Amino acid sequence: MPARLYFLLPLLLLAILISAPAAEAAEPKTGEQIYRQQCASCHGAMGQGSKTHTTPLTGDHSTIELARIIDKTMPEDDPKLCVAEDAAKVAVYIHETFYSPVAQARLKPARIELSRLTVRQYQNSISDLIASFRAEQKPDDRQGMRGEYFRSRQFRANERAIERVDPQVAFDFGTGTPGGDMTDEHEFSIRWEGTILAPETGDYEFMVRTDQAARLWINHPKEPFVDAWVKSGKDTDHRASIRLQGGRIYLAKLEFSKAKQGVRDDDKKPKPPSKPASISLWWKQPGRSEELVPARVLSPGKASEQYVLKTPFPPDDRSMGYERGSAVSKEWYDAVSEAAFDTAGYVAARLDELSGSKEGAKDRDPKVRDFCSKFVERAFRRPLMPEERKQYVDRAFEGNPETIASVKRVVLLTLNSPRFLYREAIGDPKDSYNAAAKLSYTLWDSIPDKLLLDAAAAGQLANTDQLRKQAERMMVDRRARSKLREFFSQWLQLNRITDLAKDPNRFPGFTEEIEADLRTSLELMVDGVVWSDKSDFRELLLADKLLLNGRLAGFYNVPMPMDAPFQWVDAEGEQAGILTHPYLLAGFAYTKDSSPIHRGVFISRSVLGRALRPPPEAVAPLAPDLHPSLSTRERVILQTKAEDCRSCHAMINPLGFALENYDAVGRYRTAERGRSINTAGEYHTRDGKTVKFNGVRELADFLAASDEVHSSFVDQLFHFLVKQSIRAHGPEESSRLKKSFVESGYNLKKLTSEIAVRAAQ
């Protein structure tokens, strides 16, 4: 080798050594490489978390949103290490590999789980099982109670003076009579009879307010529920509580009597002036304020006694956002056993009524056994096989001379059986009887009725058209209305609104009566949209009118007589359906001021279906008095400016700011603290687009047309109705249902029906 080359060789080697790292640095890293080098030590190789960061790295931010968060905050020890293009690469890798719902479904495929009945399903099933042996409750569309007015205290038919339907029981007779040919103001009586509908499940308190004798029956034909027939003292408020099941009607009877109060018929002297008389019927629904029992829940029809299970149960798991029958604990088993004993006692006490038999009759034994066989069949939602009949019925009667004891044993065996407690414990999951059960539990949270079981027996649940026909029939039932009402209660997060009280100095007149009327207004609005002919979901967000009665109109400065019933009116300001309903605006606000954060969280979670992590620590709102020069918007921005807040509040705050034209009680305003209100905001969609809006109306227009909103609503309704993951029914189920929803004109009734049909197949 020439000497010249020997001299250059060390220089060449040095050049290679120097240029090698430079060449390596020039090679661009992939998102996976960056993640493993900078992120995996804290978040885990597949985003599962670690000892220092236990929360899994999953969610529904778009890749653009993830990139923004990573660019500003990651890695925690050196946020400048992963920025710009590197942050974007990592975001794409994370999103596609394990972060997004699609990635999670790929890593952990959802499956239909074998689930027990939820608490609500168990209670409804028991109630409807007993009711199936009584006279069918025929609907009566009239409102009010049937009133009979008598000229004496004895309710004699020959002394009946007036018969009519009274919308409500709310009468002040003063010192006179109810009218007609009732001429004796000193003595008369009235009997009101009919039914009362329980809109939701829970404890109801009833109040009879009268200065005379009265007694009230609810759901029991013989024993008065409130008994003030023999009055003592000057008490005029008589009350008692009772548990009722939502979507069921209960018999109701109220008797009122005004006595002569010492006036003798044969007394020739002029009678002394009559004492005043009045009576009114009030109630307090679960979690509500007291109000007169409204005409819309009363009917002059008839009803049989209903069995309402009172056994306390542990709450169902709601970690997935909807009730699931997934947790089986000792407490649950104990509750099931106690409920079975309570039901057995109820059945035994009413055996002759339910079985159509009579004690001592020659045909009592076969009638009782036939009742027991039907009881088991209806509980199991399918006909009994011979061996099942022997196991659950025949053996209970073998060697046991006591009929009552045998019946109790049948009930206990049945209600503790997996065939009752689990919806698909036996048979082919796709057979007709399981299809019937899926329909009934999806729409009613209860057992199939006779028409549904008959259709299953005739093989008429074999295709989509047959299933849809049944679902459309079932949608008319009160139980379907009750279940949808419960869904919207959850969707609107009404359970989170526990206290609507406001500062009386700032908002005088915002009473418990106003609160009750606002809740009624919201429910009537939702019901009006859902059960209208169009049943258009978009109207929930776009309705430009408000339902007010006279009392609410006075508080919200709308001209209307004080005694006016609920009606649609043009209210002040921009109206946008539920977004501007005063009940929600007041519920998602503080006692003195509005709360863009609470309102923005509601829109993010419920309407847009975005997953929000709990805040890293509880932070009290900045007091307005400490920052008198700042608007609410400016205080919120100041409070949430920290980087660990921005990942969520960058979405939450602008959504809430759009509603700032409404104060803490939902009254419209254009200024705050003498300054014009800024309602401008923006939202970054999941596909990376930025939508800008100014005010609630523009926000509502965007939400009503948003694919994100439609998809989220479909998924949430499916989960509530079916109580299974929608992805467990196939990766395309959500998109198929959304497509059907859009093509139907966003029809809520058709969507509910379609979900039931899809789940039953």
Hey, what long-range contacts does 66-73 have (CB within 8 A, 24 or more apart)? 66/91, 66/94, 66/95, 66/99, 67/91, 68/650, 69/646, 69/647, 72/643, 72/646, 73/643, 73/644, 73/647
**Residues 192-230: pLDDT tens digits?**
999 999 999 999 999 999 999 999 999 999 999 999 998
The SS3 of residue 671 is strand
Which residues neighbour 462 within 8 Å (Cβ) at sequence distance 6 or greater? Answer: 432
What six digits make up the tokens of 234?
Answer: 């000057």
Taken in order 501, 507, 512, 516, the sign of the CA dihedral is: negative
Does this chain's domain 31-107 share its CATH topology with 145-299?
no
Q: Which residue has the higher pLDDT, 571 or 257?
A: 257
Q: How confident is the model at residue 5 (pLDDT cuts 50, 70, 90)?
A: very low
Assign domain 31-107 to its CATH architecture: Orthogonal Bundle (1.10)
What six digits make up the tokens of 378?
Answer: 């209806």
CATH no., domain 145-299? 3.90.182.10
**Residues 673-720: pLDDT tens digits?**
889 999 999 999 988 899 999 999 999 999 999 999 999 999 999 999
Closest CA to 480 of 427, 440, 444: 444
Q: How confident is the model at residue 109 (pLDDT cuts 50, 70, 90)?
A: confident
Neighbour-count burial of 158, counting CB atoms closer than 10 A to its CB (0-12 exposed, 13-18 middle, 19+ buried):
exposed
For 559-563, 713-717, 740-744, 748-752, which range has the lowest pLDDT when averaged over its residues? 559-563
Q: Give the HSE-up count for residue 456: Cα atoms under 13 Å, Cβ half-sphere.
A: 22
CA distance 369 to 256: 44
The pTM is what?
Answer: 0.89
Domain ranges of the chain: 31-107, 119-133+313-478, 145-299, 490-705, 710-760
Q: What is the pLDDT of residue 409?
A: 97
The SS3 of residue 147 is strand
Does residue 143 have a pLDDT over 50?
A: yes
